[in-house]
Structures are given as structure tokens and as C-alpha cells.
A and B are shown apart, each in its own frame.
Chain A
């Protein structure tokens, strides 16, 4: 079953604009991760935020986590055409079992 729900389902922006993607989840988590998937390829890990963290940055990526609202957002600044991909949030409940539960994903299109 899918734990996370991303919003919006699809996003189309112009190169140079910022892209904001949201994710909500249902159960308590140990950490939340964002992945990118290009068409026909595997997933690439982007960033991990732990449940005791509120914000994290990595290059052009900024992720926030609000555990009281069970939600996270991913911001990609100064988007590029190469950012065109599907983006997934995934939650880990932690402990010995580190399986990830993914949402349905967001399709991001960046127009050159």
C-alpha cells in the first residue's frame, strides 16, 4: 500500500523557475526520502531528512518536514530542463526494517 501522497500529480514550469512538490504520509516515520526517476530508469536518491529535522538543503534542493502535519515539501530552485523527471517521496519507519514506502509520484516537466 502507498504511504505517501504527492501533490500535485503533475507540474509544468519554465526553466529557471522554482518547483515545489508536496508529500503527505499517514504513519509515524523514522525518516523521509525524496527520489527522482527518469523515464525507463531506476530511482536516484536525492535527499534524506530525519524525523527530528525540520529542514535540509542539498545544492538546489531544499526539503522541509512537518511531523505534526505528516507532510514534507521538496523545493527545486532555478530549475533546468534536465530536472524533468518523476519525483517520489518515500518513508521509512526505521528500526531493523528499512523498507521504503513510496507515494505515486509527481511528474515534473521543465520547459526550456
Chain B
């Protein structure tokens, strides 16, 4: 069983630069989620996709953030003009939603991309 894969594992960049992260979910999973986790906190929801459709975005996701899942498989999360406050672990998760009862299925997480802004 190939789990959720995220790339890169670590990213260090200067403030103001753009960064892009990739997530490859478990192949048969139709839902894909992005979360952000800062030190000492639990993950916070950013956005999620059902197949290629982005169905919800958190207010945490400012207009500098954009996520895509063009073919309903892998997803990318881009942050433009990075700021110090963007430093965090970005986690991707996937699940298999059955009908409208997506809430019943556990989410499978990748190991995250740790972003450090200099």
C-alpha cells in the first residue's frame, strides 16, 4: 500500500519568494485535504478537493495561497510572496468518501512539507 506522498519534505526560502508543494494521495482516494500545523498546535484545515473540484477553503487561506488538483489525482499548493508567518508544516491527507458520508472515513496523512521562511 503506497501511502500519501509529499514533496519536498523541507523547503527553506527567503521572504517574498514563491513556493509550491506537491501531494500524491492514495490512488483510489477521491478526497484530498491540505492542513497547516505550527509548532505545538494541532493541524488546521486549509482546503479540500473532491476529485478535481475544490469544495471548501478556510479563511486561513489568503489570496496568496492557491491549491489545485487538475486531474483529480495529485495536488499542488502554492504560496506566493511568502511571509514569516507562513513558516509551518503543510500536511496533505486523503480519504475515500462514500456518497455524502465523507465524514465517516479516516484520513490518511503524508509526512508533510516543513516550510521555513528566512
- Report which A residues bind B (CB closer than 8 A): 2, 4, 30-31, 33, 35, 40-45, 48, 50, 88, 90, 92-105
Contact = CB atoms under 8 A, between A and B. Distances in A.
A42 B103 contact: no
A35 B91 CA distance: 14
Nearest to A107: B40
Contacts of A90: 42
13 contacts: A31-B104, A40-B111, A90-B42, A94-B103, A95-B103, A97-B56, A98-B48, A98-B104, A98-B107, A99-B33, A99-B56, A104-B40, A104-B41
Nearest to B102: A98
B101 A94 contact: yes
B55 A97 contact: yes
A95 B40 CA distance: 29
Contacts of A4: 42
Given A50-B104, A94-B101, A102 B112 contact: no
A42 B45 contact: no
A45 B43 CA distance: 14
Contacts of A95: 100, 103
A33 B30 CA distance: 20
